[in-house]
Each structure stands twice: as C-alpha cells, then as structure tokens.
Amino acid sequence: MYVLVIGAACTLTLKNRMGWRKILAVGLLIGVAAVAWEWKSSVNIEEFYKGKRVVLTGASKGIGKSLAIQLSKRGAKLVIAARTVQKLADTQSECLKNTPHVHTVRADVSKEEDCRAIVDKAVEEFGGVDILILNAAYSPNPQWFSDYEKPAEKFSSVLGVNLLQSVQLVHFSLSHLNKSQGIIVPVSSGAGIAAIPKVSAYATSKHALHGYFKALNQEFILTNTPVSITIMPLPYVLTETAVTNWKPIGTGDGITAEDCADRMLHGIPKRQLWYYVDWTLWFMGHVYSLYPEFFDVFTRLHLSRTSYLFS
C-alpha cells in the first residue's frame, strides 16, 4: 500500500515536468527502494523483545493491556503502570501466564513522584530500561470549546497526562536509556496531525507531544545521544473509551486493540522517528502539511465518518 501511495504522489508531482515513461521509471525506482528499505529494516520480533526491559504506562486496559500481554508472550521484562489497581492486577495476571518478570506500579502519570516511582521500579527490578512506551492518555468526551465551563482546568488535566507524563518519564529514564541505547515510544493520534473539532484539549496535547519529541530528537542527534524516538500516531482503535467517545462511527471502521498492539510491536524495532500502523494515518501524515485546507474542509463535512482517523 505504501508503495502505491508513493507512486501516486510521484506521478502528481512530476506529471507536468516529465513524460509518462520517465514518471513510471521514477515511480518504479521509488517503489523498489521502499520495498528494499522495509526488507532491510525488518526484525524478528519474536527474538527482539526477549529480555528487553520495558516500561509501559496505561497498561490496565485497551491498547496498553494488549501491548503488555503480547510483550510478555515475547519474553520481555515488564514494569506496567496505571491508575486503577484492580484492572492493573488483571493485566499482570494475564502476563504472568507467560513470564515471571512482570511488576506493577499504581501511578497517576500527571504526578512527578509517580513517574519517578515507575522508573525506579524498573531500575530496582531489572537494572535499567530498554524501551519506554508512553501509552497513558486522557481523552475527554468530545464537546465544543464554547461549552467548557472551566476550559483552563480541562486543558491542564489533559496536558498533565498526555504531555507531561512524557516529559517526566523521559527525564527520569534518560540516563538508563542512554546506557542501553534504548527506544522511546510516544503513542499519539491523528488528532496531533490534523485540526479536529470538538476535541480541542486532546488535539492540543497531541500537537504539543509531537513538538516536544521532534525537538528532543534533534537534540539527541546533535548531542550524539544513542536513544531512538518512534512517534506512533494511531488510527481509530476499538477500545471502550474510543467507542464511547465516538458513537456515531459504529464499530466497523476501526481496528482491534490486539491488532493495533501487534502492529506497534512490529514497528518499534525499526527505530523510525514516525511509524504509522495504518495507511490512512501514513497518508494524512505526509499530505496534510501540503494541503491542510483540503483536509480541514473534508473533516468539517464528514466528521462522523472520518473521526476514526483521530482516536
């Protein structure tokens, strides 16, 4: 699919400058290069995660729970965190069927001391961190900004989870990730790419998340920091929260949490700055910057049918 999109983009860009034969030749070369890159960057994930020390937030349900279970099946050593003790214990029980190396931390990731406790647990139990997956998120029910009674409080609570958890957890784990040449995985959304109405607080947090990690990636390159960042904007995933928040969509347009987790785990070893688990987000991520007005108009006209892009 990616190769087809690349070829189409190439055709649109070059059609007024080159003949069709040259266009096809260039498209073919790009397609071959894309396939070669995918083949070269492919990793045996069954082996990759064995013994990896993984910190995972938002692990009590949905995507986080699926990630934890699949990581445990692949032999990872896990520190999982969430606010709800019983649901977190349920996730741990499922993971313990596959590996004894699963530890929990009851944590509110908007709080500095809780973020410190998560990293301290990984260091205490495993001696460090190899992969930091920032999955915890707060997604309020969609509503118009004009209907917020106390918008500053709403924005503060959303940013506290969706942005500041990343700042805190990266701060506390960076020295350990540096030693292990580790990977940071910010879990994001299409709402961090396009302009989405009725989710202004959530969209703001995801745009800010992208800005933070793009800047941090530049710093890592300039300072020769051997830590990779892989930003993962997700499509509409059929979790309890997403289905509740986006009832007009129905249940046929998304992917399951299990499928999403599997795609994410295939992407992490590639160490790409951006990794899209779904072609729709790949397309939007590459084209929105060129034609934002088109996407904005399309979103306004078809919000109930396109919101699956913006989980």
Q: Which residues are catalytic?
A: 202
Rounded to 10 degrees, the C-alpha dihedral 210/213/215/216 comes to: 180
Tokens of 46: 């069954």
Tokens of 281: 């987000």
User: Tokens 């520190």 — which residue?
Assistant: 79
Tokens of 30: 């790009």
Return all residues near 128 (Cβ < 8 A) that are at least 6 apart.
Answer: 53, 122, 176, 179, 180
What DSSP state is assigned to residue 249?
A: G
C-alpha to C-alpha distances, 149 to 6, 123, 145, 152, 244, nearest whole angstrom = 45, 42, 9, 9, 22
| 59 touches 80 (CB < 8 A) | yes
Rounded Cα distance, 276 and 278, in Å: 5
